[in-house]
Chain A
Amino acid sequence: DAGVIQSPRHEVTEMGQEVTLRCKPISGHNSLFWYRQTMMRGLELLIYFNNNVPIDDSGMPEDRFSAKMPNASFSTLKIQPSEPRDSAVYFCASSLGAGQGLQPQHFGDGTRLSIL
């Protein structure tokens, strides 16, 4: 079975540009998470969707960040405008029945974002 698919794997862009990260969750999974990983802050949950609906976006750092899930098989994380401090590895993860929090999350291989 295909795992969580993220694209692009690497993104290098200049400060001020719009960045869009994409995620295809595992088919049948109804929960989707976006994380950011940095050396300084470790893994941070940015936003959680359940059945395509954003449930918790309290981890989104500021209004420059937005996320959508138009259907069960696709989600985007957008940064506009981007800043150098947004440089990090961004992960998407999906799971079944996250409302009970007992199913493991399956992670994609991430997007390594560098803002110059």
Chain B
Amino acid sequence: AQSVAQPEDQVNVAEGNPLTVKCTYSVSGNPYLFWYVQYPNRGLQFLLKYITGDNLVKGSYGFEAEFNKSQTSFHLKKPSALVSDSALYFCAVRDGDYKLSFGAGTTVTVRA
């Protein structure tokens, strides 16, 4: 089965600083990777996906992610974090024809 791991339960950064949320994957075959964000009392919102092509994927709200095949990583990044970016972030990988396997999530706190 395909899987992802998010090694950090929490990430804390100051507003205006770069934000990185880490994700590593384990797949057989080509990886199809996704990032979602969940704000309190809301459902998951799609941020971006990597299917093929450029290793740097741009998504919503100024987020981007870098696919690194040699390190089997797909880290989410934002150059300048906002307080409003505080949320729970999930990395996911396609597992089979329709399933998504989600990581455990990383709580991001951006302090003013």
- Please list the residues of chain A having a beta carbon within 8 angstroms of any beta carbon in chain B: 4, 31, 42-43, 45, 48, 50, 55-56, 91, 93, 98-102, 104-110, 112
Other 10 A-B pairs with CB < 8 A, given A31-B98, A43-B90, A104-B46: A43-B44, A45-B100, A56-B98, A93-B43, A101-B100, A102-B32, A106-B46, A109-B41, A110-B42, A110-B43
Are A102 and B100 touching (Cβ within 8 A)? no
- Which residues from A are CB-within-8-Å of B46? 104-106
Number of residue pairs spanning A and B whose beta carbons lie under 8 angstroms apart: 55
* A-contact 0/1 string along B12-36, CB 8 Å cutoff: 0000000000000000000010101
Q: Indicate if B96 sits at the interface (CB-CB under 8 A).
A: yes
- Give the size category of B's interface with A: 20 to 34
A4 touches B32 (CB 8 A): no
> For residue B97, which residues in chain A have a CB less than 8 angstroms away from its CB?
98-101
| Residue among B34, B90, B99 making CB contact with A104, cutoff 8 Å | B34
B100 and A107 within 8 A (CB): no
Residues of A within 8 A of B32 (CB): 101-102
The residue of chain B having its C-beta at the shortest distance from the C-beta of A59 within the complex is B99
Residues of chain B at the chain A interface (Cβ within 8 Å): 32, 34, 36, 41-46, 49, 51, 90, 94, 96-100, 102, 104-105
Which chain B residues border A108 with CB–CB below 8 Å?
43
Q: A31 to chain B: which residues have CB within 8 Å?
A: 98
CA distance A8 to B51 in the complex (A): 35
Q: Which residue of B lies closest to A101 (CB)?
A: B94
Question: In angstroms, how far is the closest chain A Cβ from the Cβ of B69?
Answer: 18
B49 to A91, Cβ gap below 8 A?
Answer: no
Task: Check B43 against A91 for contact (C-beta < 8 Å).
Answer: yes
Indicate whether A48 sits within 8 Å of B99 (C-beta atoms), given known contacts A102-B32, A104-B46: yes
Q: Report chain B residues within 8 Å CB of A110.
A: 41-43
